Amino acid sequence: MGGRYEMKVLLQELYQGDTPRARRYRYALLAFDLGTLLFVVGTSFHPRSAVLEAADALIGVALLAEFIARHAASPTPGRDLLHPVTLADAVAILSFLIPVTGEGAGFLRALRTLRVLHGYKTLVRLREDFRAFRRNEEVWLAATNLVVFVFIMSGIVYETQHRTNPLIGHYVDALYFTVTALTTTGFGDITLPGTAGRMLSVAIMIFGVTLFLRLAQTIFRPAKVRFECPACGLRRHESDAVHCKACGTVLHIPDEGEA
């Protein structure tokens, strides 16, 4: 009983704490997720083999262990299990563990990575650890949203097309189609046949253009700082603001001593 309690305390520290060990662990998880996604892309260029299936299984076991640890540390495991991103993560893990499927749905792991990046504790830590992120937080998040969307849609295109569409031979072909559809360039050298293919193309164009415009808006909009007004709670202000534009309260926004 004592060992189980100590393990739960350790997991809660790693996933919810702010100790140096917890921060290193969460950064390591992000790095592992990115490595997993690169593995999914890279293996799309190679035929299935016993070596790749063994690698899939090892990654799947590691992902499953992390999945169990994460929910053991959660204060609301039941609610977390029903979250759509958690369900997508479970599908991604199963795709690694079931050899006959390959790691086809592994690209869904990107949703878990995106959720971690948007988590409150992760955002606070990134603001404190990385000056570039702190100064351009909304640009980084908008760019991450767009990149994850492109990655996932390319994965969907690849998985739904590469067995039947000779124009989609590997992940880069799917990525190329996704980007041309998103930018509405539409060169026409790669198309998705059938009603399902056309609807997938429409979804890429509609949602992709929305995310792209969001990124452009955050890049060209005047930079603001995040600081909560003690009176009205407004959190975004001009970098040199002295008073809150909503209620007029005097602000004391910390700066880094730059001219």
Q: DSSP string spanning 7-50?
A: HHHHHHHHHH--SHHHHHHHHHHHHHHHHHHHHHHHHTTS---H
CB 200 within 8 A of CB 160: yes
CB 105 within 8 A of CB 91: yes
Spatial distance between the Cα atoms of 185 and 245, rounded to a whole number of angstroms: 42
CB 163 within 8 A of CB 186: no
| pLDDT tens profile 150-198 | 888 888 898 888 888 999 988 889 999 999 998 888 788 899 999 989 9
CB 127 within 8 A of CB 158: no
Q: Which of 96, 33, 19 is nearest to 59 (CA)?
A: 96
Regarding pTM above 0.75, the answer is no
- Average pLDDT in the chain: 81
Spatial distance between the Cα atoms of 187 and 162, rounded to a whole number of angstroms: 19
Contacts (Cβ under 8 Å, ≥6 apart) of 84: none
Split at pLDDT 50, 70, 90, the class of 134 is: confident
pLDDT of residue 259: 41
Contacts (Cβ under 8 Å, ≥6 apart) of 105: 91, 92, 94, 95, 155, 159
Per the structure block, which two tokens stand in for 136?
A: 């351009």
Residue 227 has pLDDT above 50, yes or no: yes
| Residue/partner pairs of 52-57 with CB below 8 Å, 24 or more apart | 52/102, 53/99, 53/102, 56/96, 56/97, 56/99, 56/102, 56/103, 57/96, 57/97, 57/99
